[in-house]
Homo-oligomer: A and B are copies of this chain.
């Protein structure tokens, strides 16, 4: 049990952080941690120890009132109660609090020996498809052209971040929502299957090029406990417009990212906290483009050799499918 016979110091304040700096029983948190037996698996112990410390410090930092704690208990219960197919409120709450994006960064931060970073990673999202077809370089992913669509010539080079040289035979897989904010198979207006999706194989210089749309921003679901949290924070439900990419090559660490137009109004306030500076695209107006594109984007991808992260896997590809 936690020692509590001697009265605690009555110094009142407890605003900042560490377990040591507050007026409550200084042994309690370690007591709870020590309840774990020596048989507890090391990774379980590591995760639960940190979780207990941080949850306790959180309660002490804000001097959580009992009625606030009860609200929190009820809120956590409401997340699981709202769960259904294609709707994962806990996942959304993690997005809103930046947790999915942070976990993504933690799992993908890797730099070369001299400190150069590959293209930043961003969350996969729920709409990647394992069945997207390969298309020829120069083809268009736009099978159903919406009236307000802006055809865009998208081109660039997949490069080795160490050497700066192009990587031949890399796979550049992309997918995007149409101008109504819907992805092909989730669109009640019935887009053609594989509309706005395509895989492209880089040429011998590492180059890729194809036609797509300038992407459109959209709002996440605006009901349920995740929406309540957004309202409490006075935040909007919008994600900035984005094009998803997944770039792979057997010798390189795979990259999953989202690319955002520089003129998007939600870059700074993305509801999923997933925007990074090096993932921003410049859509430049063009005229008399051979296939009628009105915009041009040049974007190079930097991949890092697997020698820097030999255990890289893309385990999330399946797990993520049940997100929304």
Interface residues of A (CB under 8 A from B): 1-5, 7-10, 17-18, 23-25, 28-29, 31-32, 35-37, 39-41, 44, 46-48, 50-52, 54-70, 73, 76-83, 88-91, 94, 97-107, 109, 111, 115-117, 120, 232-235, 267-270, 273, 275-278, 315-316, 319
Contacts and interface: CB of A to CB of B under 8 A. Distances in A.
A213 B233 CA distance: 51
A132 B71 CA distance: 28
Nearest to A278: B5
Nearest to A1: B275
A233 B44 contact: yes
A32 B76 contact: no
Given A73-B90, A98-B29, A107-B65, A270 B44 contact: no
Nearest to A73: B90
A111 B81 contact: no
A28 B100 CA distance: 12
Contacts of A235: 35-37
Nearest to A61: B50
B268 A1 contact: yes
Contacts of A55: 54, 97, 99
A29 B40 CA distance: 31
Contacts of A24: 102, 105-106, 109
Copies in the assembly, this chain:
2
Most chain B CB neighbours (cut-off 10 Å) among A1, A9, A37, A117: A1
- Among A18, A120, A233, A278, chain B packs the most CB atoms within 10 A around the CB of A233
A48 B273 contact: no
A-B pairs with the 3 shortest C-beta distances? A80-B80, A37-B234, A7-B117
Contacts of A102: 24, 28-29, 56, 59-60
Nearest to A63: B106
A273 B234 contact: no
Contacts of A61: 50, 54
A10 to B, nearest CB: 5
A244 B52 CA distance: 26
Nearest to A77: B80
Given A66-B316, A73-B94, A319-B66, A7 B116 contact: yes
Given A73-B90, A77-B90, A102-B56, A107 B66 contact: yes
A84 to B, nearest CB: 10
B67 A319 contact: yes
B8 A117 contact: yes
12 contacts: A4-B120, A4-B278, A5-B277, A10-B111, A10-B115, A35-B235, A39-B234, A40-B234, A50-B58, A54-B58, A55-B99, A73-B90
